[in-house]
A = this chain, B = another copy of it.
Amino acid sequence: MRRKAQIMGLIKNNFVKYQRKCHALIMRKPTLTDNKTQHPLTFTPATGGHDMFRAAFQGRLHGALAHNLGVQILGGVYKSGDILPNEIDSSESLDISRSAYREAIRILASKGMVESRPKIGTRVTERDRWNILDPEVLGWMFETEPSEDFIKGLFELRLITEPAAAALAAERRTPDQIERMRKALEVMEAETLASEAGRMADLEFHHTLMFATHNEALASLSTTIGAAVSWTTRYKQRHKSLSRDPIPDHARVFEAIERGDASAARWCMESLVRMALEDTQKSMSPQT
């Protein structure tokens, strides 16, 4: 194995030199960079680009493709049971290599959205099998206006988990976590939710809260829900100015947690989420 590699290396080196020469002679290198500017797949952060998500595929081809395909599937361009064109055709028509295409498909497959088998192709799975709680998938979901039912469902989930989590957090939080939440709250007060920094602080607040439950599964769910919250908040903002100031609600939750009052924390959080749902619904109903 090694021996082979060595020998091949020797042979190759000379050839590569020749190749480079040809390369340079035949045609100025298109550098791929100026090609990329018009590549149909360059990830255009149309959504504003939360760092959290952008990080996942900053300019990586397979990531961008997975994103696009994911959005298309969620948006109904490909329906459950549809079979995408085979790898050769797909990669060719997208003007990318088969490897890149395959890696994109692997990403989708790992989120349960497609399933590929030899001789069959790559099939979009049933909707109830795909993993919509994956933060990335959730992000894709919000690229196209998600259905009202879906958003309602999301809030229902928040309404179930977050109050319970707040109660647990009130019992288990560490002083350090209280400090972090206090800081986040201060930032929120200063910036309001209209700014990116304010939304980030909101996210930090909820995330720290979930983390304070010292429950790994719950914390993970938080990351997801946090993502959703951030999306809906943005969504809400876009349609009309916020009708109520959510800061007092947050402050009440915080105080309850700080003094370790579990049932108060639960109750305040429930009211907070309910308000948020109301706001979101209000901002959605006009265009119904």
How far is A110 from B57 in the complex, measured between Cα atoms in Å? 10
CB proximity of A86 to chain B, nearest CB, Å: 16
19 pairs, A vs B, C-beta closer than 8 Å: A8-B19, A66-B110, A99-B99, A106-B110, A107-B110, A110-B111, A112-B135, A127-B216, A128-B211, A128-B220, A130-B220, A132-B220, A133-B217, A153-B216, A154-B217, A156-B217, A160-B164, A160-B218, A221-B221
Q: Does A11 contact B (CB under 8 A)?
A: yes
How far is A130 from B134 in the complex, measured between Cα atoms in Å? 10
Most buried by B among A35, A56, A128: A128
Contact A220 B160 (CB under 8 A): no
Q: Does A136 contact B (CB under 8 A)?
A: yes
Contact A157 B106 (CB under 8 A): no
B4, B15, B35: the one contacting A23 at CB < 8 Å is B4
How far is A149 from B55 in the complex, measured between Cα atoms in Å? 31
Which 10 A-B residue pairs are closest in the complex by CB-CB distance? A153-B215, A160-B164, A107-B110, A110-B110, A157-B217, A106-B106, A103-B106, A153-B217, A132-B220, A4-B27
> In the complex, which range does the number of interface residues on chain A fall in?
35 or more
CB proximity of A192 to chain B, nearest CB, Å: 28
Known contacts A3-B26, A110-B110; decide if A215 and B8 are in contact (CB<8 Å): no
CB proximity of A232 to chain B, nearest CB, Å: 12
How far is A157 from B73 in the complex, measured between Cα atoms in Å? 30
Which residues on the B side are within 8 Å of A111 (C-beta)? 110
Contact with B along A217-237 (1 / 0, CB 8 A): 111110110000000000000
CB proximity of A286 to chain B, nearest CB, Å: 24
Q: Does A185 contact B (CB under 8 A)?
A: no
Contact A131 B134 (CB under 8 A): yes
CB proximity of A213 to chain B, nearest CB, Å: 8
Contact with B along A109-127 (1 / 0, CB 8 A): 1111001000000000001
Q: Identify the closest chain B residue to A116 (Cβ).
A: B60
Most buried by B among A130, A156, A219: A156
Which residues on the B side are within 8 Å of A23 (C-beta)? 4, 8
Chain A contacts with B in 151-210, Cβ cutoff 8 A:
153-154, 156-157, 160-161, 164-165, 168
Contact B131 A220 (CB under 8 A): yes
